[in-house]
Amino acid sequence: MNNSAIGQTLPSSKPRAHQQSSPMRRRENLLGWLLASPFLIGFTVFTAGPMLVSLFLSFADWNLLSSPQFIGLANYQEMLFADKLVGHSLKVTLYFALGSIPLHIILGLAIAMMLNTSVKGLSFFRTIYYLPAILSGVAVAMLWRWIFSPDFGLLNAGLAMVGIEGPNWLMSRQWVIPSFILMSLWGVGGSMVIYLASLQGIPTSLYEAATIDGAGWWAQTRHITLPMMSPVILFQLIIGIIQAFRFFEAAYIMTDGGPANASLFFMLYLYRQAFQYFNMGYASALAWLLFFIVLILSLLVLRSSPAWVYYETELKGR
Amino acid sequence: MNRRLVTSLIYFLLVLGAVVVLTPLAWMISTSLKEEGQVFLFPPRLIPDPVVWRNYPEALTVLPFKIYFQNSAIVSLSAIVGAVLSSSLVAFSFARLRWQGRDWMFLLVLATMMLPGQVTIIPQFLIFRSLGWLDTLLPLIVPYWGAGAFFVFLLRQFFMTIPGELDDAALIDGCSHLGIYWRIILPLSKPALAAVAIFTFQWSWNDFFHALVFLSSRENWTVALGLAAYRNTFGTTWNLLMAASVASILPLVLVFFFAQRYFIQGVVFTGLKG
């Protein structure tokens, strides 16, 4: 299913007989545009238009009450050189990203590889592991606030059983980000499902041939599994970056940026500037900074990909 | 011998992982059924004694959760109808009709999928404000009627797998293009349409950020906002808090178990080729 889907990404140009006649052709042309118009309208109203407005606002000072004042690059100057919380919230977000993304990839792959060893109850395990991934939201944030509760929470109760005195997770400046990383790992099943699907797409003949050549488990993993999985890992890496920089609701609900701004994620700061202080212009500039950072990080990852991502077509070219 | 050891180890790890994954949920449910005094017992007990069912009616009446559930249901259902209808029409146009500028437009769909939504939230707020839609459910619904790029892509890929000869035969029999869409493509695409519907349900039901930005009066809140407010009002009554939380995720869990095949199909499909 997946391979065929990828193969059909490019529009097919198969000619069909009835399209020779011109009125019919014109009607199809018109109908095509008409049916595609929900996307066009949606794109204009909710994406392209807002992006232009946002760009304009980022050069303005506006608190929603008076009319916007054009102030040139002042927002960007403030953001890049004066406002210490910008750099701080970026650091917090980056810390979270660097902690959670590699763990997600390693853990997701490990579970998928174990499930791919023709174990019984595959769909049972897959269902259980995937369940938390659908439950993102306020309820999950509530649940984990309770789990991280220092005196009566599940985590510290478990640690106490093995004689460890757990930290004051969400109220500790050192532990608050690791807490969020730990919580995010609960949803690892979301990417695991994707890894599992592509693992199942690797031809078994590759492993059979490798076994005949005497390759052990590690050699097979190193030279077959990981290269074959690398395009999916690349994709997950980029999704992971986008999601980490979008991280908001758990921080808003569980710590509100505390203690002492230790969990002031970038989106939380952006939200405050926009919807609590009503600095719409400044918040727009922050949004564009976020956009460029995500874009640059994604491009860097993509740039690095020829060094480690393997595409089947390369082999055919040789 | 060695192989059997490895297999046992894998089963052990998988079961251990499943227990780790399920424990928070079990604890959530268990807390939701405890007396207040039992909540803070140490070490914690998984089985509540006695089982306090009335936590649920109590938790759901201290705040007007009935209205919040109603609002969330309105948002989700309208979003589902809008997403399925608009994205299937657009995807049909991309997959089955030939029109000038189509390929160029499809590149736009692909590009839109890469754009993060954060940049547009402030202007969207301004648009909805000027339309007088702030503090109504419309900002949470209407964007779904605009055929999201993700869904257009997913459905187009699925529609492409249906043989084009069906269209030609139907056209010769005098069927219109819209007839093909309605009588051939939609009935053959139920799994993909289900995936779109389920994803829309999941996203709109869980959506906290947009509700937070766009809604203010209590009577317009969704479940997500109600639950967040619950924390401030009844911050330490964990048993009631967990009861409200369980109730809020129950619709999602039910749909998940009912339709998990489509969930997983959809994830795999969109996840591989975002």
Question: For residue range B223-233, what is the model confidence (pLDDT) as tens digits?
Answer: 999 999 887 77
Q: Which of A9-23, A87-101, B126-140 has the lowest mean pLDDT?
A: A9-23
Residues 80-109 of A with CB under 8 A from B: none
Q: Which residues of A touch B174 (CB under 8 A)?
A: none
Is the model more confident about B118 or about B1? B118
Confidence of residue A8 (pLDDT cuts 50, 70, 90): very low
pLDDT at A317: 41
Specify the DSSP element, H or E, that contains A61: strand A60-61
Name the H helices within A68-175: 74-77, 84-115, 122-134, 138-147, 154-161
Mind listing the pLDDT tens digit for each residue in B228-266?
A: 988 777 667 889 999 999 999 999 999 988 888 887 877
d(C-alpha A182, C-alpha A204), whole Å: 35
Q: Which residue of B19, B29, B118 to mutate against A (max A Cβ within 10 Å)? A: B118
**Taking all residues of chain B, what is their mean pLDDT, rounded to a whole number?**
89
Of B39, B168, B264, the CB nearest to A16: B168
Which are the contacts of B18, defined by CB distance < 8 A and separation ≥ 6? A125, A128, A129
pLDDT at A21: 61
Distances (CA, A) of B273 to A8, A243, B111, B148, B153: 11, 17, 13, 15, 9
Q: Which of A2-11, A31-40, B73-82 has the lowest mean pLDDT?
A: A2-11
Token pair 């600095």 is found at A279
Whether the pLDDT of residue B200 is over 50: the answer is yes
Query: Contact at 8 Å (CB) between B225 and B65?
Result: no
Q: Which residue of A134, A140, A282 to mutate against B (max B Cβ within 10 Å)? A: A134
Is the model more confident about B36 or about B180? B180
**Nearest chain A residue (CA) to B10:** A114
Mind listing the pLDDT tens digit for each residue in A288-305?
A: 999 999 999 999 998 998
Whether the pLDDT of residue A314 is over 60: the answer is no
Q: What is the mean pLDDT of residues A122-147?
A: 91
pLDDT at A152: 82
Chain B CB within 8 Å of residue A205 CB: no
Query: Contact at 8 Å (CB) between A70 and A59?
Result: yes
Long-range contacts of B103-107 (CB under 8 A, 24+ apart): B103/A11, B105/A36, B105/A39, B105/A40, B106/A11, B106/B156
Q: Are B252 and A134 a contacting pair at CB < 8 A? A: yes
DSSP A69: E
**Nearest chain A residue (CA) to B274:** A235
Whether the pLDDT of residue B1 is over 60: the answer is no
Interface predicted TM-score (ipTM) of this complex, two decimals: 0.89
A60 DSSP β-pair partners: A70
Q: Which residues of A touch B164 (CB under 8 A)?
A: 14, 16
Whether the pLDDT of residue A2 is over 70: the answer is no
Distances (CA, A) of A77 to A54, A296, B44: 17, 20, 53
User: Chain B closest CA to A318's CA: distance in Å?
Assistant: 26
Query: Contact at 8 Å (CB) between B83 and A18?
Result: no
Query: Contact at 8 Å (CB) between A85 and A273?
Result: no
Of A12, A25, A136, the CB nearest to B206: A136
**Nearest chain A residue (CA) to B171:** A18
Confidence of residue A97 (pLDDT cuts 50, 70, 90): very high
Of B23, B118, B208, the CB nearest to A138: B208
Confidence of residue A9 (pLDDT cuts 50, 70, 90): very low
pTM: 0.89
Q: What is the mean pLDDT of residues A184-207?
A: 91
Confidence of residue B115 (pLDDT cuts 50, 70, 90): confident
| Distance from the Cα of residue A19 to its chain's centroid | 43
Q: What is the mean pLDDT of residues A201-223?
A: 90
Q: Which residues of B touch A35 (CB under 8 A)?
A: 89-90, 92-93, 97, 181
Mind listing the pLDDT tens digit for each residue in A261-296?
A: 999 999 999 999 999 999 999 999 999 999 999 999
Chain B CB within 8 Å of residue A128 CB: yes
pLDDT at B117: 77
Whether the pLDDT of residue A172 is over 70: the answer is yes
Averaging pLDDT over each range in A17-31, B83-97, B257-271, which range is the top one? B83-97
Mind listing the pLDDT tens digit for each residue in A20-68?
A: 568 878 888 999 999 999 999 999 999 999 999 999 999 999 988 888 8
Chain A CB within 8 Å of residue B17 CB: yes
Of A28, A47, A142, the CB nearest to B120: A47
Which are the contacts of A208, defined by CB distance < 8 A and separation ≥ 6? none
Of B100, B178, B202, the CB nearest to A134: B202
User: Chain A closest CA to B74's CA: distance in Å?
Assistant: 18
Q: Which two tokens stand for residue B271?
A: 């996840």
Whether the pLDDT of residue A124 is over 80: the answer is yes
